[in-house]
C-alpha cells in the first residue's frame, strides 16, 4: 500500500519519516518531484506513486511578519496548491487523505476555548487572513468531496509547530526557529538578543514529532471525517519562550523591540476531541522539545534552512 506525503522534506515530513511505524510504501515528495501549483506535474507524481493514502503537508508558510506582508501571495499560492492536490486525489481514486490546516484559521477574539466547530464563526486575525482563508477553503473543499463522493478527507488543525529540520530563516520563519537563530547570533556577536513585540502573547507550541505521531494515528484509526485540533493544553508566553531559549544558550543579554506587532494576544485551542479519540496520547515536554531543537540547529548550522 502506497502513501504519498506532500511537503515530505519539510519540518513535519521529516518528523513523520523518522517516527512512522507502519511498513507501507511511503513516498516523501518535495518541490523537486512536482510543482503542486501545476496540475500536469501533480498528476504525473500521482501516476508514478499511485497512492492509496495521501498526507498533504505542502504549503507556503511563514511567521507573523511574512503573513502580514504577503497576504495576497499566501492566499493564492496555498489556494492553488490545495485545489490541485484535492482534484488530483479524486482523479486517481484516493479515498482517504489527511490535509493540514493551522489554528490561525480560527476567528479572532472568539473566546477562551476554541473547538473545531468554531472554524467559520467569524473572520480570522487580519495579520494572516490571506493564509487563513486559503486553509478555510481547503476545509470546505474536503467537506464537499466527502459529501458528494463519500471520500474520507480529514482536516487536522495543528497549533504552532516547531522542531528539528525547521526553517530558521530570520526574515520569514515562525517564532521559535526565528528566536533560536537570533539568540545564536546574539551570543556569537555579543549583541543584545532582540525579542520582537512586547513578549506578552500566549501560544500553544506543538513539537513536530508529536504531530507526526498524531497524523499516523489519525490516518489508520480515526473513523470520522470532521476536523480535529492537535495541540497541547499548555500556553507559553513569548517571553517565557525567549527565556527558555536563552537558558539553553546560557546567554541573557536581551531587549524588546515594541515597534513590532504582537499579532493575536491569545488563541486557546481545545484538545478535548483529540484526547477523547486517543486518551493515551502524550505530548513532549516543552523544555525537552526546545532543547532538542536547539541542539539540532547547532549541530546542523552549516546545512539547515537559514
CA distance 58 to 65: 20
> Exactly one of 65, 131, 162, 222 is catalytic; which is it?
131
- Rounded to whole angstroms, the Cα distance separating 168 from 163 reads 10
Question: 83 burial class (0-12, 13-18, 19+ CB within 10 angstroms)?
Answer: middle
- Is 149 an active-site residue? no
C-alpha cell belonging to residue 7: 511537503
Query: E strands within 81-137?
Result: 96-100
Alpha helices of 106-151 — where are they, by DSSP H? Answer: 129-149
User: Across-strand partners of 5?
Assistant: 28, 55
Q: What are phi and psi of 22, to 5 degrees?
A: -75, 155
Q: What is the CA radius of gyration of the chain?
A: 19
| Angstrom distance (rounded) from CA 70 to CA 73 | 5
Active site residues: 131
Amino acid at each position: 500500500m502506497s502513501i504519498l506525503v506532500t511537503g515530505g522534506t519539510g519540518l513535519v515530513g521529516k518528523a513523520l519519516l523518522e517516527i512512522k511505524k507502519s511498513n507501507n510504501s511511503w513516498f516523501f515528495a518535495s518541490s523537486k518531484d512536482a510543482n503542486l501549483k501545476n496540475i500536469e506535474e501533480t498528476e504525473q507524481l500521482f501516476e508514478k506513486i499511485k497512492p492509496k493514502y495521501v498526507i498533504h503537508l505542502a504549503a507556503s508558510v511563514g511567521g507573523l511578519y511574512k503573513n502580514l506582508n504577503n497576504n495576497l501571495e499566501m492566499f493564492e499560492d496555498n489556494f492553488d496548491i490545495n485545489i490541485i492536490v484535492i482534484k488530483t486525489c479524486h482523479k486517481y481514486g484516493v479515498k482517504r487523505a489527511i490535509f493540514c490546516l493551522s489554528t490561525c484559521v480560527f476567528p479572532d477574539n472568539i473566546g477562551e476555548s476554541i473547538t473545531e466547530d468554531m472554524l467559520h464563526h467569524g473572520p480570522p486575525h487580519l495579520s494572516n487572513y490571506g493564509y487563513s482563508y486559503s486553509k478555510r477553503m481547503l476545509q470546505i473543499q474536503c467537506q464537499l468531496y466527502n459529501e458528494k463522493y463519500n471520500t474520507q478527507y480529514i482536516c487536522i488543525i495543528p497549533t504552532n509547530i516547531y522542531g528539528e529540520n525547521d526553517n530558521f530563516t530570520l526574515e520569514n520563519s515562525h517564532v521559535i526557529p526565528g528566536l533560536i537563530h537570533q539568540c545564536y547570533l546574539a551570543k556569537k556577536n555579543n549583541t543584545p538578543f532582540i525579542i520582537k513585540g512586547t513578549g506578552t502573547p500566549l501560544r500553544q507550541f506543538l513539537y513536530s514529532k508529536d504531530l507526526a505521531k498524531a497524523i499516523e494515528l489519525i490516518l489508520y484509526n480515526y473513523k470520522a471525517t470532521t476536523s480535529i485540533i492537535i495541540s497541547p493544553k499548555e500556553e507559553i508566553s513569548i517571553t517565557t519562550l525567549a527565556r527558555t531559549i536563552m537558558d539553553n544558550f546560557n546567554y541573557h543579554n536581551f531587549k524588546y523591540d515594541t515597534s513590532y506587532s504582537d499579532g493575536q494576544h491569545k488563541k486557546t485551542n481545545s484538545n478535548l476531541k483529540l484526547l477523547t479519540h486517543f486518551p493515551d496520547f502524550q505530548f513532549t515536554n516543552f523544555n525537552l522539545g526546545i532543547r532538542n531543537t536547539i541542539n539540532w540547529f547547532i549541530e546542523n548550522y552549516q546545512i539547515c534552512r537559514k
